[in-house]
Structure 1
Amino acid sequence: MQARCSFRTRLTKIKGIDLYKQGLWNLALRYFSACLSEYPDDKASALMLSRCNDFIENPPENWDGAVAFMAK
């Protein structure tokens, strides 16, 4: 069972999500990495970190903060 994350970690994740939505993936990944350093099993932070890396390598055109899933 995963321990509940600290208040500080929650704030860190919220800041990462805010930066992600703004398209500032290089900054956002630092926040998600910080969350993972404290809670390595945090699947949400791992997913967001992976998305940041993907978007840094292949930035989407006309970013609006949404991700469209094309397959099930």
Structure 2
Amino acid sequence: VVLCFTTSPFDTAVSSAASYVKRAGGLGVIVARHPVNILRPCLDDFPCVVVDYELGTDILLYIRSTESPVVKIQPSR
């Protein structure tokens, strides 16, 4: 199993790393990268946003501290 680090925000970096490791005879790959806040489809064009644990905790605290929490999902600029 190979551990790779990437700064690329694109999922192709993950698939490329896996392809190279497999061709070299590796049994698996772990790709470490900073989550990027990009909008991408999950299922049937359902939007997804990738965040890290710190931001997820901030969102949870906001939900718990606000009577009517509001969310706006859009691509970053």
Given the two structures, how large is their TM-score scaled by the length of structure 2? 0.33
More helix by proportion, 1 or 2?
1
- Greater relative contact order, per chain length (Cα 8 Å cut-off, separation 6+): 1
Larger radius of gyration: 2
Given the two structures, how large is their TM-score scaled by the length of structure 1? 0.35
